[in-house]
Chain A
């Protein structure tokens, strides 16, 4: 046991150095801070996708309207700051709490719904949020114009500083996610995904745990949104659109569900791919569609899942791959 741990130390050391040096490397190679900004957005998306993973990957409930939580978080902190001049250390937490409350309220009826109906309900939720922000009562959300927001004072527009700030938050999120999924709560989430009927029979209060999953998920996505608005310094109703929700889902599925490396790979891959194909922006939805199709048909475990299967095959354990597809069929 000890020797294995010792062997891993150099590996972890390399990872740590790489993560710490990454923004400097990117800045040096590309010569601009633009890609560092993309890296920062990726970190924010990782937080949001982690939320979606707990909901979809672990407890098997789909959300096609997750961008709404992201946008509600962003608008909450932005508007409170704009109208009441409240300090950001107060508005950002409120920006996390409001989507959490809305997520819980949505989940209480939604936890009764079966998969397809849940996806319809969450699409509707996303659309409602979009149209509410687009044509709000009295125009308090500034409608289609969107709102500007202040940067976090001690970070300003220094993307390197932002990177480290977001890195710390993302790591904290990953740590708590790891605790949660390795506990009774995480086990119950998976049990519900695998077999709702048996989960109930084994003493799991299925609705309660579904609501918990929704609540935690909305909190994390709202957290990402409420920081995002102060990073980009602008938010518009468009962020609540279907496109953004599909983006989160594509990132999650492409990287691979129920794993942290999957989330990291998925977000980075898609985010940097989008940068590469920026000239083809009008085909964005088409590209998501194709990528989702590729993942669902050819790589049910996402890139990370496929990578793990490959590694297992190389080690001569071919079984892992077939098991994975078996299980997926059951989960659906």
Chain B
């Protein structure tokens, strides 16, 4: 599926991600945890092409992607959500999903300009498909509402489904439960399982330990930019180094 080899990211003198090599379990929920500032989001950004790693390799389905740009990585089959919600606020909910499908749409500029039959059919199919995606997360009633009018929890759901709409095989979720209430968190738990049913692999960054320990099949722990431990939830919970990292503080 996806594998990173010795990925390092530096910002000036600071090494944000230091020599991280991981291999995700396909079609499982893989989680990435660690105290604040451990480099989780930077690592995410490196995988999704927001920043280019200074060293190391990222291999997705046998292909090197560490040099690719964000939009190329999305087309390759990796899509993400953001820690701070990054929706297209003035667009309707369904339009947000349709933007997510852009890499799957074949119409070129001229077909769009002349609104050819092919383009019209494709748009119609895209609309239907976007509606299906909205049904998948239960947002179909809001399809034509402005995305900024959604509740916080629903905005998170829309981000997830927008990312799925690209046909992604790997979904990177950056703190999807942040700001959700306990009911929404329980629903998220179920939703993640349903996403797995579609054959998608998930990499989750999350602070809510209860959620992480509940849903994860495999956990990676980062600390000060480096990989501290990896294993199934039980192993991680029993790992003294991890406990030290979380409770011992930085002293």
B71 interface neighbour in A186, A194, A200, Cβ under 8 Å: A200
Q: How far is the CA of A1 from the CA of B189 in the complex (A)?
A: 41
Q: How far is the CA of A261 from the CA of B100 in the complex (A)?
A: 29
A202 interface neighbour in B50, B99, B115, Cβ under 8 Å: B99
Could you say which residues of chain A place their CB within 8 Å of the CB of B91? 187, 190-191, 194
- Closest approach, in angstroms, between the C-beta of B118 and any C-beta of chain A? 11
- Bitwise interface map of A from 305 to 332 toward B, beta carbon under 8 Å scored 1, else 0: 0000000000000010001001100110
Interface set, chain B 87-120, CB cutoff 8 A to A: 87-91, 95, 98-100, 102-103, 105, 107, 109, 112-115, 119
Could you say which residues of chain B place their CB within 8 Å of the CB of A326? 89, 148
**Could you tell me if B90 and A183 are in contact, using CB atoms closer than 8 angstroms?**
no
Interface set, chain A 182-222, CB cutoff 8 A to B: 182-188, 190-191, 194-195, 197-206, 212
Q: How far is the CA of A205 from the CA of B148 in the complex (A)?
A: 24
Query: Is A176 close to B, CB under 8 A?
Result: yes
B86 interface neighbour in A179, A190, A198, A327, Cβ under 8 Å: A198
- Closest approach, in angstroms, between the C-beta of A78 and any C-beta of chain B? 28
**Could you tell me if A184 and B107 are in contact, using CB atoms closer than 8 angstroms?**
yes
**Could you tell me if A330 and B90 are in contact, using CB atoms closer than 8 angstroms?**
yes
Query: Is B32 close to A, CB under 8 A?
Result: no
Q: How far is the CA of A191 from the CA of B107 in the complex (A)?
A: 17
**Could you tell me if A179 and B115 are in contact, using CB atoms closer than 8 angstroms?**
yes
**Could you tell me if B70 and A201 are in contact, using CB atoms closer than 8 angstroms?**
yes
Q: Quick one: closest B residue to A191, CB to CB?
A: B99
- Closest approach, in angstroms, between the C-beta of A313 and any C-beta of chain B? 16
- Closest approach, in angstroms, between the C-beta of B91 and any C-beta of chain A? 6
Query: Is B162 close to A, CB under 8 A?
Result: yes
Could you say which residues of chain A place their CB within 8 Å of the CB of B166? 202-203
**Could you tell me if A188 and B115 are in contact, using CB atoms closer than 8 angstroms?**
no
Interface centre among B74, B86, B105, B162 (most CB of A within 10 A): B86
**Could you tell me if A327 and B95 are in contact, using CB atoms closer than 8 angstroms?**
no
- Closest approach, in angstroms, between the C-beta of B183 and any C-beta of chain A? 25
Q: How far is the CA of A187 from the CA of B95 in the complex (A)?
A: 8
B89 interface neighbour in A180, A194, A319, Cβ under 8 Å: A194
Query: Is B175 close to A, CB under 8 A?
Result: no
User: DSSP class of A's interface residues: helix, strand, loop or mixed?
Assistant: helix
Query: Is B75 close to A, CB under 8 A?
Result: yes
Could you say which residues of chain B place their CB within 8 Å of the CB of A179? 112-115
A203 interface neighbour in B71, B113, B115, Cβ under 8 Å: B71
Q: How far is the CA of A283 from the CA of B162 in the complex (A)?
A: 50
Q: Quick one: closest B residue to A188, CB to CB?
A: B102
Q: Quick one: closest B residue to A330, CB to CB?
A: B89
Q: How far is the CA of A196 from the CA of B60 in the complex (A)?
A: 25
Q: Quick one: closest A residue to B116, CB to CB?
A: A179
B98 interface neighbour in A185, A187, A197, A206, Cβ under 8 Å: A187
**Could you tell me if B112 and A184 are in contact, using CB atoms closer than 8 angstroms?**
yes
**Could you tell me if A184 and B146 are in contact, using CB atoms closer than 8 angstroms?**
no
- Bitwise interface map of B from 119 to 155 toward A, beta carbon under 8 Å scored 1, else 0: 1000100000000000000000000001011000000
- Bitwise interface map of B from 62 to 98 toward A, beta carbon under 8 Å scored 1, else 0: 0000000111001100011010001111110001001
Q: Quick one: closest B residue to A200, CB to CB?
A: B70
Q: How far is the CA of A323 from the CA of B92 in the complex (A)?
A: 12
**Could you tell me if B87 and A198 are in contact, using CB atoms closer than 8 angstroms?**
yes
Q: How far is the CA of A195 from the CA of B99 in the complex (A)?
A: 12
Interface centre among A182, A187, A330 (most CB of B within 10 A): A187
**Could you tell me if A327 and B90 are in contact, using CB atoms closer than 8 angstroms?**
yes
Could you say which residues of chain B place their CB within 8 Å of the CB of A323? 90, 146, 148-149
Q: Quick one: closest A residue to B70, CB to CB?
A: A200
Query: Is B48 close to A, CB under 8 A?
Result: yes
Q: A327 with B115: in contact, given A191-B88, A205-B71 (CB under 8 Å)?
A: no
Q: Quick one: closest A residue to B48, CB to CB?
A: A201
B102 interface neighbour in A182, A195, A204, A327, Cβ under 8 Å: A204
- Closest approach, in angstroms, between the C-beta of B68 and any C-beta of chain A? 11
**Could you tell me if A195 and B86 are in contact, using CB atoms closer than 8 angstroms?**
yes
11 additional A-B pairs beyond A200-B49, A326-B148, beta carbons within 8 Å, are: A180-B113, A183-B112, A183-B123, A186-B112, A187-B95, A190-B95, A195-B89, A201-B82, A202-B74, A202-B79, A323-B146
Sort A-B residue pairs by CB-CB distance and give the 10 closest, nearest first.
Answer: A183-B112, A203-B74, A203-B103, A327-B90, A194-B88, A198-B86, A179-B115, A200-B70, A185-B112, A191-B99
